[in-house]
Amino acid sequence: MGTLPAMAQELGFWKAESNTARDVTGDVGISESKIAIEAFYPFNIVRARDLTPAETSAVFDTDIASNSKAHLYGLVIPANRKFLHKNTLCGNEDTHWMVAYAEGNTLALAFFSGEQSPTFAVDAIANSSSFCGMYRYTR
């Protein structure tokens, strides 16, 4: 019996849980090649790499000792793309990066602007002008 790839954790349909998710993205669906925001607007995604437990902790404040891993995806969501309540993901900037972290029945997504991959360290995230926001979902 084989094991599922690590990325399989975030695949599937997720119901918006946090106020931010309910106000901006609504429910989301993630496949190996797309994310559907508001469950209707699909955007192509490409898995770039796994984050280390320390990098995952910098973004989502997880326990480094848990060996939790998030996944970095490249994508392009134009700044002029409006979602719920006419909100955008990254203000006037195109969204280029998504980090997904699933544990049990919860999913956290973080979105970033900027052409260059974000730096995943606590200070870098705290002072980042490319960090757009974090959204939480449940199954």
In a domain, residue 14? The reply is: yes
- Residue 90 belongs to what domain range? 6-138
Spell out, as residue ranges, where the chain has pLDDT lower than 50. 1-7
Domain count, the chain: 1
Position 41 scores a pLDDT of 86
Residue with tokens 């106000």: 23
pTM score of the predicted model = 0.91
Per-residue buried b or exposed e for 19-51, using 16+ beta carbons within 10 Å of the residue's own CB:
eebbebbbbbbbeeeebbbeeeeebebeeeeeb
In a domain, residue 1? The reply is: no
Position 1 scores a pLDDT of 37
Position 5 scores a pLDDT of 47
